[in-house]
Amino acid sequence: MSEGSIVLGALAPHPPHLIYAENPPQNEPRAECGWEVLRWGYERLRRSLADKSFDVLVVFSPHWQTMVGTHFLGVPHFKSISVDPIFPNLFRFHYELDVDVTLSEAICEQAAQMGMVTKMMRNPDFRVDYGTIISCHLTHPAWDKPIVAISSHRSAKLFNTEYMQANALKLGEATRKAVLASGKRAVLLASNSLSHRHFVTEPPLPEDMSKEHITHHGQYLWDMRMLDLMRKGKTRELIDLMPDFTDQTIAETDSGALSWLIAALDYPEYGADVHAYGSVIGTGNAVVGWDHESYGGRS
């Protein structure tokens, strides 16, 4: 078996608003427009993937929240409807997807060997979280590739962001080792926003873009600083700043998703492609790609 590889890594946030505005047939609500810049960014991400072959999408989602370790989907096929508990008016999505259970188990086992608490999710009635679904759909709407879905261990809340990050980095390393050993070609998705202070009200027309802006200038400055580090390939500095950034902007990086991605990519020193940045109900979101294979699959 040839060695596996990480084809591409992406920061692929999951605001349900982007699906809502995109109007895919799977989603029940219909929109007139909205959040185009971010959706165009996802278009560019998809274009960057178009000429690459890959076997599996591995996604780390902040919206599968677990307290007792990190969990992995372990059922081969799911079909259901996902309704966003926060924005049910925007996201009621009929999904059907396959899971690469073999790779899930491999990452789960590798992380366990490295000292992490892990668990496979084997209940066929389980509903896949909307973060996983949205990031996968916007990255690869054909749904013709299996996924591996990884939960977010809420250690930032249980302990602190430093502890969270230490675990996320270890999980990233475990993911890289398992992918390389699998012989598969994987695309990795960190399904999180950057700054994450929401508005607590919604305009009557959710896609009214005259109401959309970042919640706070300070959040914008922090987001730009993090994106600048990504563009310059300064991922070690990015990781060093992550706890402070997370605490200052109540960022969704508290999930560990972005730290996991950077570690899985082995701290790339090449510049990332920032495909788009925009706010969604006040939160800061960026679509960012690390074209890992073009750089020899190395940092």
Partner 1 sequence: MSVLSGWLVPGMPHPYLCPEKNRGWQKLRTAYETARQSIEALDADLLVIYSTYWPSIIGHQIQALPNPVWTHVDEEWHELGSIHYNLRMDPEFAESCREACVARGLHARTVAYHGFPIDTGSVVALKLLNPDNRLPAVILSSNVYSDRAETIVLGKACRDALAQSNRRAVAISVSALSNRLFIEPIDPAEDRIHSLKDDEWNRKYLEFLQLGRLEDVSQLSRQFHREARVHKVTNFKPFWWLAAFMGQNNCYRGEVHAYEPVHGTGAAIVELTPTSMAARDLEYDEDDPDAYAGDRNVLGSLNDAPGMDGDDES
Check binding of 200 to partner 1 (CB under 8 A): yes
Part in contact with partner 1 (CB under 8 A); list of ranges 106-114, 118-126, 236-244, 289-297: 118-126
- Beta pairing partners, 83: 92
Nearer to partner 1, 213 or 225 (CB): 213
**Binding of partner 1 by 64 (CB under 8 A):** yes
Tell me if 126 contacts partner 1 by CB under 8 A: yes
Q: 8 vs 214, which CB is nearer to partner 1? A: 214
The two three-digit tokens of residue 245, written as one number:
């950034």
Position 248 contacts partner 1 (CB under 8 A): no
Out of 5, 104, 132, 151, point to the residue binding partner 1 (CB under 8 A). 151
| Sequence-ordered alpha helix ranges (H) in the chain | 16-22, 36-50, 101-113, 130-139, 155-158, 161-182, 217-231, 235-248, 257-264
Q: Is 83 in the site for partner 1 (CB under 8 A)?
A: yes
Of 199, 267, 270, 295, which one interacts with partner 1 (CB under 8 A)? 199
- The nearer residue to partner 1, 154 or 232, going by C-beta atoms, is 154
Q: How many Å apart are CA 253 and CA 72, to the nearest integer?
A: 19
Residues 91, 89, 35: CA angle, nearest 5 degrees: 65
- Residue (of 227, 297, 226, 228) closest to 268 by Cα position: 297
Q: Segment near partner 1 (CB under 8 A), from 79-87, 100-108, 186-194, 259-267?
A: 79-87
Candidates 31, 169, 281, 286; binder of partner 1 (CB under 8 A) is 281
Least separation, in Å, of the C-beta of 33 and partner 1? Answer: 17
Applying CB under 8 A, the span of 34-42, 131-139, 149-157, 171-179 interacting with partner 1 comes to: 149-157
Q: φ and ψ at 7, to 5 degrees?
A: -75, -45
Give whichever of 110 and 151 is closer to partner 1, judged by the CB atom.
151
- For residue 186, report the phi and psi dihedrals to the nearest 5 degrees: -115, 145
How far is it, in rounded angstroms, from Cα 13 to Cα 263? Answer: 18
Is residue 85 a contact residue for partner 1 (CB under 8 A)?
Answer: yes
**Rounded to the nearest whole angstrom, what is the least distance from the CB of residue 84 to partner 1 in the complex?**
8
Q: Which two tokens stand for residue 197?
A: 């202070």
Question: Which amino acid, one-letter code, is at 249?
Answer: T
C-alpha atoms less than 13 angstroms from C-alpha of 208 in its C-beta half-sphere: 8
| Residue 280 bridge partners (DSSP) | 283
Under the binding rule (CB under 8 A), the answer on residue 51 touching partner 1 is no
Which amino acid is residue 294, in one-letter code? S
Q: Are strands 77-83 and 92-98 parallel, antiparallel or unpaired?
A: antiparallel
Specify the residue, 205 or 231, whose C-beta has the smaller distance to partner 1: 205
- State the residues that interact with partner 1 by CB under 8 A: 64-69, 71, 80-83, 85-89, 92, 117, 119, 121-123, 125-127, 129, 151, 153-155, 157-158, 197-203, 211-212, 215-217, 281-282
